[in-house]
Amino acid sequence: MPPLQTDWCDVSATVLPDLFSPTTIGAFDVVNRIAMAPLTRSRADADGVHSRLAIDYYRQRASAGLIISEATNISRQGRGYAFTPGIYTDAHVAAWRPIVDAVHGAGGKIVCQLWHVGRISHVSLQENGAPPVAPSAIQAGELVFLETQTQATPSMPRALETDEIPGLIEDYRNAASRAREAGFDGVEVHSANCYLLEQFIRDSTNERTDRYGGPVENRTRLPIEVITAVAEIWGPDRVGVRLSPLTRSAGDTPLDSAPQATYGYLARELGKLNLAYLHCVEGQTRGPNGAAAFDFRALHAAFGGRYIANNSYDRQLAIDAIASGHADMIAFGRPFISNPDLVERLRSDAPLSDADRTTFYGGGAKGYTDYPAPYARVGA
């Protein structure tokens, strides 16, 4: 373990890159340009009620300019992995409130990522063993985690009926309202990683012939309707959206046939809503940074607002991305797991600790709240 650094005066007196300077992202005044990306850790109970361990987990990482919560189910139907938290009942709100309070007490800001997995689910996770729902009845191939502590292939989904979609949008609206009750600073609508809203966006997973399928204007209709509804609850400057044009989920979901055109169109339409930010996974999720394989700058320009970049950024890539204007904020995911003091490690260019991958999902404090933080500022 590197020695504890106690003399922060020398560090803070130097001229630091813009990565460590304050800015405004929508309605959020952030103390630095480092966001904590959403990280599924599967520490909730079987009903999606969060463990009290999460209070310490999030508080330990509150030096991030903005925390984006782990993906949080908007409904029982939206759940695709066991032990992931929800935000659709009184019990969920009661569990999240002390977590949010802890982040605020440590000087941080946190938004709730609203999640519906669509076809990436299993009948055992659905109410009364119902099939998962999706834009079209196309089965996913990647694995989901069940309450039996085993993995399984997702069940065959059924296509949502057109007249069910207003109820689905209402589920998002309810979850957004619940997030306000819990005290979050805002919400991020999860439209990435091949989950429900992205299943509508891509022509590879959307074979519908109604107003939600076919041309790009129809395939992007549901995400825009959901985000508009959520913005009515929060105000648009407290709503962000996450996209992942190049992610194939666990290697199974095909990309859209024209990702640059499709996501460019969506970014322009989202820009008209005056949202807080656009958050993009630049490349294959959990893969190498893929900013060179797709014109994410064009997405940023089409959106016209604040842009958060994510996916395998290191310190220098992040500094360069902020300095060049490519991004307004950088979201770090896996490094935050084993480095709760990541902001200070990046600030002082200190070494990063490696994470124990066997403790990523499920379990207790081990690999969750027990990582040391020798670079944390006193009082932070």
Q: Are 229 and 169 in contact (CB under 8 A)?
A: yes
Active site includes 195?
A: yes
DSSP states of 242-292? EE-TT--TTTTSPPPSSHHHHHHHHHHHHHTTT-SEEEEE-SSTTS---GG
| Amino acid sitting at position 253 | T
HEC profile of 219-235: HCHHHHHHHHHHHHHHC
Beta-bridge partners for 279? 242, 308
Other beta carbons within 10 angstroms of residue 209's beta carbon come to 9
Beta-bridge partners for 309? 280, 330
Q: Are 37 and 336 in contact (CB under 8 A)?
A: yes
Instruction: Find the catalytic residue in 58, 81, 172, 195.
Output: 195
Q: Residue 193: exposed, middle, or buried by beta-carbon count in 10 A (0-12, 13-18, 19+)?
A: buried
Active site residues: 195
